[in-house]
Amino acid sequence: MSNNEQQIKCVIWDLDNTVWEGVLSEGGAGALLPGVAETIRELDRRGIVQSVSSKNDFDNARKQLEEKGLWDYFLCPQISWNSKSEGIRTILELLNIKEEAAAFVDDSAFERDEVRFVLPKIRAYDAALAGSIPEFPEFQVRFVTEDAARRREMYRADLERQSAEEAFAGSNEDFLSTLHMKLAIEPVTEPALQRVEELTIRTHQLNSTGYTYSYEELLKLIRSPRHRFYICELTDDYGTSGKVGLLLMEESEEALTIKLLIVSCRVMTRGIGTALLCFATKQAAETGKPLRAEFLETDYNRIMYITYKLSGFEEIEEDGDRVLLEYQHAEPMEYPEYLEIQEGGNYEPQ
């Protein structure tokens, strides 16, 4: 287990002399610069989402990108005469991506410095390196999973949900009820391990311990008679959000202990963490043992501690940054009413 350096989840592009030759507002855009289209398509294939922050006229820039076959690759592009850092900040807020997981590509050293001054954790690259970006370690992925291949479209659906929620007049719970969400919770099997590894590497805010696991470590866990390992997939009226959560529990003579709880940041406001904890309390009740949970605080995951506390867990042991909590109620938690739960069969090690 390790706390790997965060990989890039989002690449944000300038346009003039970065994606294409020339300056659009000074006579038009020329041909695509060498390697740019190939890099954009390869990053998309790997599940790294992309956007644009450019000082340009929106309609003219969109027309150029459409003609060059690139417009559909970019989520919530920010094309205006405002600062590029302002555009990038908006993109990251809309996509719920932290700045340290984002990259900015621009030919101008001045613009790169301006962005790094406002967003000091972002990684900025000279446009001259655009063709080489897929070769850099921070853009590498070990596996291209099914979820990665369709990540752009899942983010696009998330943006549609956000717009619908903003227009909704009722409570958050009432809005969630309109989505008709279904959460399928299944034991992790070997074919799902690539996505499991990807979730542990990509998820930092909603990771209860910050641990990441290699494929080989995960394979041992699903074969272990002491561990119960589950993955969940979320669908609703807007389509699938893919496999969005993990629950790893270790059974001993004394207790059933949650070793890892992960929820994709894309669904952090939809009650998935609470649903997985509810599932865990039911599993513990079946064993007749108390349910405990390990929590190891990182720079990002305080919200997971709050989730435990709001769900009825209290601290019973502390060792440095590591905390052990225990569920305090006699009865298992109830699933949120707005979620339809589909539970898999009995857990059997692979």
pLDDT tens digits for 18-74? 999 999 998 878 999 999 999 999 999 999 999 999 999 999 999 999 999 999 999
Which region, left, alpha or beta, applies to residue 127 given φ > 0 means left and ψ of -120 to 50 means alpha? alpha
Examine the domain organization and report whether 80 and 157 are in the same domain.
no
Q: Which string of DSSP letters, residue by residue, matches 93-139?
A: HHHT--GGGEEEEES-HHHHHHHHHHSTTSEEEEGGGGGGGGGSGGG
Examine the domain organization and report whether 51 and 150 are in the same domain.
no
Asked if the structure places residue 3 within a domain, the reply is: no
8 A C-beta contact, residue 291 and residue 280: yes
Examine the domain organization and report whether 77 and 160 are in the same domain.
no
The domain that holds 112 is classified in CATH as: 3.40.50.1000
Asked if the structure places residue 5 within a domain, the reply is: no
Asked if the structure places residue 326 within a domain, the reply is: yes
Residue 177 predicted with pLDDT over 70 = yes
Asked if the structure places residue 232 within a domain, the reply is: yes
Examine the domain organization and report whether 158 and 223 are in the same domain.
yes
Examine the domain organization and report whether 31 and 71 are in the same domain.
yes
Examine the domain organization and report whether 77 and 180 are in the same domain.
no
Asked if the structure places residue 350 within a domain, the reply is: no
Examine the domain organization and report whether 160 and 250 are in the same domain.
yes
Examine the domain organization and report whether 181 and 323 are in the same domain.
yes
Domain hosting residue 113, numbered range: 10-139
Asked if the structure places residue 291 within a domain, the reply is: yes
Residue 4 predicted with pLDDT over 50 = no
Residue 174's pLDDT is 94
**pLDDT tens per residue, range 62-83:** 999 999 999 999 999 999 999 9
Examine the domain organization and report whether 172 and 77 are in the same domain.
no
Asked if the structure places residue 160 within a domain, the reply is: yes
- CA dist., res. 256 & res. 232, Å (int): 19
**pLDDT tens per residue, range 264-321:** 888 888 999 999 999 999 999 999 999 999 998 887 788 888 999 999 999 999 988 8
Asked if the structure places residue 239 within a domain, the reply is: yes
CA distances to 217, 273, 301 from 240, rounded to whole Å, are 28, 17, 25
What amino acid is encoded at 6 in this protein? Answer: Q
Examine the domain organization and report whether 273 and 206 are in the same domain.
yes
Examine the domain organization and report whether 203 and 331 are in the same domain.
yes
Q: State the DSSP code for 32.
A: B
Number of folded domains that form the chain: 2
Examine the domain organization and report whether 92 and 176 are in the same domain.
no
